[in-house]
Amino acid sequence: MEALNTLTSFQLTCLLLFLSRTDVTLTNQKLAGITNKNNVLSIRGLTSINSVPVIKNISGSGFVTLIDGNFSGGSSAVSALENTGTLYARNITATGYQSAIKNKGTVLAGTTVSEFASTSFKSLFSSPQTSLNLPIADPPTFSEDVSQWVSVTAFGAKPDDNNDDTAAIQKAVDSGKSTIYFPTGVYNISSTIRIRNNVRKLVGMESFFKPRVDRTMPSPAIRFEPGNYDGVTVERLNVKGVWEHSSTQTLVLRDCAYGSYQGTAGAGSLFGENVMIGKWQFAPGQKVWLRQLNTEFTNATRLINNGAKLWILGIKTEDPYTVIETKGGGQTEVLGGLLYPGHGNVVPPTDVAMVNNESQVSFVYVTAADATNQDYTIHVQTTKNGVSKTLTESAVPGRGNGSIVLYRD
């Protein structure tokens, strides 16, 4: 649990252009737990002990996605959530307040909310006007004695010297220790690093895997192979290459960046938390939970969900191209986020933000655009039983030059 009660509402307003958090507790605020003006918040697991409103979403461009809220101590003179912009809320309980939600000046009766959207879901086919509500899981946690940690430098790896570290890193991986750590700096690799045997955790310190100067990165750069534990966790490691998930183990990527992720057939569950990876491909049957996802640095479709169950809390993009293609009977649920397809440039009108090919999706997101031609013209293209339909920009509410998209099919 994380307490934000030392931040004023003003500070929060300044901090959050795009934020997705889980398990936040707010107590004893004076005016509001969170005041949001224009920004995009995606929150799961918000606890509040306050008499004042928990969230004031005070501008037309403000966009709040909130699931699993438990609010107590409320004043009967106010509602817990005061919305002027766009609000999507699910599974909310408010105790003491006059109601859970006051929407655009109207007090909505009830102190519990199973699902509320201030603007209706769109569908191109006959579908319920709700999110998919996919099951949510949290990454595995474990504690480990420091005696099980070892540095790659103990096996001869040396950061920042432009000499190859592949053999030394592989020796550390195969040493029998379960946590392998990488003191800060750049490690040069020339062939795939195979994560296997007794490894349970890789800990970087914003450390990089890169090829030597004037060499090319091996592919994959890092491969997660079958090992002794149910899961492998990677923290604060930057890999400028392919991350290949080739085991049934659960993989957790936390505060990692660069490259692309590839889940191979039979790959285990994947968790991503605050990860900046541009391209992702998930395998049939995979279960994927991504929170605070930033997909920069790509010039093609960003996420390809081929028959997996993909859940995202808070996505952010820059530049055009398709954001998510869902196919093979996959399921994709996006809960909150900011797409910025123009990034100062014209977006090709043929680009489709979300492609749904004979699969199931629900999306809750907004776009930001600096000019009218810098948004997606086509937000969703859904094909069902061979019939394709599109949801265009003109069919959804505006957000300045951008769009507000709630969609289900």
Could you give the CA distance from residue 401 to residue 395 in angstroms, rounded to a whole number? Answer: 14
Cβ burial 288-318 (10 Å sphere, 16+ → b, else e): bbbbbbbbbbbeebbbbbbbbbbbbbbbbbb
Taking the complex as a whole, the smallest distance from the CB of residue 254 to Ca ion amounts, in Å, to 24
CB-nearer residue toward Ca ion: 161 or 230: 161
Among residues 338, 399, 351, which one has the least CA distance to residue 372? 399
Least Cα distance to 173 among 146, 206, 150, 204 occurs for: 150
Shortest approach of Ca ion to residue 218 CB, angstroms?
Answer: 15
Name the one range near Ca ion by CB under 5 A: 82-90, 185-193, 330-338, 346-354.
Answer: 185-193
In order of 81, 103, 109, 148, 334, the CA distances from 118 in angstroms are 12, 7, 14, 51, 17
92 and 102 Cβ atoms separated by less than 8 Å: no
**Does the footprint of Ca ion cover residue 184 (CB under 5 A)?**
no
User: Could you tell me the smallest distance in angstroms from the CB atom of residue 188 to Ca ion?
Assistant: 5
| Nearest residue (beta carbon) to Ca ion | 165
Of positions 161, 184, 228, 390, contacts Ca ion by CB under 5 A = 161
Shortest distance (Å) from residue 168 CB to Ca ion? 8
Alpha-carbon gap, residue 378 to 358, rounded angstroms = 18
Q: Which is nearer to Ca ion, 2 or 214 (CB)?
A: 214
Using the rule CB under 5 A, give the single segment among 125-133, 152-160, 199-207, 230-238 that binds Ca ion: 152-160
CB nearer to Ca ion: give 25 or 166. Answer: 166
Structure tokens at 214: 């004037």
How far apart, in whole angstroms, are the C-alpha atoms of residue 287 and residue 268? 7
Q: Is 163 one of the binding residues for Ca ion (CB under 5 A)?
A: yes
CB atoms within 10 A of CB 254: 17
Residue ranges in 188-227 that form contacts with Ca ion under rule CB under 5 A: 188
Q: Which of 165, 273, 325, 333 binds Ca ion (CB under 5 A)?
A: 165
Nearer to Ca ion, 189 or 252 (CB): 189
Min CB(200)–Ca ion separation in Å? 24
- Interacting residues toward Ca ion by CB under 5 A: 158, 161, 163, 165, 188
